[in-house]
Amino acid sequence: MTTNFEEIVSRHRAIFQSGKTRSAEWREKQLAALRAMVTERADVFCDALWKDLRRNKVDATVADLKTVADEADYTRRRVRHWMKPKSERTPLVLWPGRTTVSFEPLGVGLIIGAWNYPIQLVLSPLIAALSGGNAAVLKPSEVSPASAAALAELVPQYLDPDAVSVVTGGVAETTALLEQKWDHIFFTGGTSIGRIVMTAAAKNLTPVVLELGGKSPAIVHDSADLKVAARRIAHGRWLNAGQTCTAPDYVLVSKSVAHEFLVHLKAAVLDFYGADPQKSPDFGRIVSPRHFDRLKNLLGEGTIHHGGQHDRDDLFIAPTILTDVPPTAAVLQEEIFGPILPVLEIDGIDQAIAHVNARPHPLGLYVFANDQAVAQRILAETASGDAAINDCAVHPIIRELPFGGVGNSGMGKYHGEWGFRAYTNARGVLSRGTRFDAALRYPPYSRGTRLPNWIMGIR
């Protein structure tokens, strides 16, 4: 049966225009229901994540479900405050008057999720949409079908079906959805599809948030605590078998400490996943044969310092460390999005900064250095969507921080109040009384009664 996407959008737009979604009570109720869904039906979601990615229950609970539940609760407790109009200064020439900024819902949004965190990356943008008082259509990724099916089953049971829908399917369905007229589009995925989404949005001048990833570097200075740096980089890289948009994509390490760093990095992998990571209950799998084949082709570039084992039938690629990688290698040109980590030696910070700046802006930039002057210099002389010092990949859990890319790694920010702002129009409002209406502001100016320049703001 063919889905009538135009009818779905029209139904949600009618509800939005009725004013139903605007009240604080409705927003709070939906956010509470969303939290209840991921809490009460956690087993359903964990089972789906195991089927799609062989994600263990601990990672599924922490990275997908608890993250969403906590964000929904955090937002629910603050949304009334965020909704309040904010007063601003009124210029003297417009006295008596009052100037405010109100935050108006945008309307009906489309949320296109990604397969690597197929629950979180659909529901977290939905939290932002609901907090802003909007209706939304969710399109989970077809690459993670079990998670998409779980969302399609449970979302209508918990959330207002008049305002929130789930559409499953593949490229054809996504293409058809992009042909509709939306008030906002949120997309998480690769840069190539991001361009398609932005092109579709441009037809109706629809605002977008694009979360696109990119090659996020980890820079290890010789002042770093090398053991801690290695463990945190290993955790960030090999969580979810490397299929994380904020994961460090490669390491730039000072030559003077490169050997010691590699010793600690290998030790961390063995400590986390054992000598046979294929048997580890904590190491995931590649999402599909197509992605497996792409990643397997990257293993032949450079020297395998550790790992390299693979099994296509099990969609398994071991945590792999590459060294001596040629600058032109594909593994250094495209986002890896898998359990492979190139480690490149550098002469110093100048070379690291030049390397980062010669490439598109990454989603994250991670500096490992106990010399804070070095860390601050790297941040000051580079650009990235977000950054961390002496850690990596975990900053998105801080709801007060804006999360998102810049340039090639995306546009727009969300999480917490930043998500609320992404899904509302900041509407400037001037409110004036009528008891006083000076003739000085009106023509004819030949009367010589112009307001003094200092009042008009003319210098």
Instruction: Of 228, 211, 232, give the one whose Cα is nearest residue 341.
Output: 232
Element (H, E) at 161: none
> Would residue 441 be called left, alpha or beta, if left means φ above 0 and alpha means ψ between -120 and 50 degrees?
alpha
Q: Rounded to an integer, what is the distance from CA 383 to the centroid of its chain? A: 17
211 beta partners: 188, 410
Catalytic residue among 6, 71, 104, 211: 211
Catalytic residue among 245, 335, 392, 417: 245
The percent of the chain in helix, strand and coil, each rounded to the nearest 5, is 45, 20, 35
Which residue spans within 113-271 are E strands per DSSP? 135-139, 164-166, 184-188, 208-211, 217-220, 250-254
Instruction: Of 145, 125, 141, 246, give the one whose Cα is nearest residue 185.
Output: 125
Token pair belonging to 114: 């990604």
Is there a cis peptide before residue 443, judged by omega within 30 degrees of 0? no
Rounded Cα distance, 90 and 156, in Å: 46
Which distant-in-sequence residues (6+ apart) come within 8 Å of 39 by Cβ?
65, 69
**Is 211 a residue of the active site?**
yes
Residues with catalytic roles:
211, 245
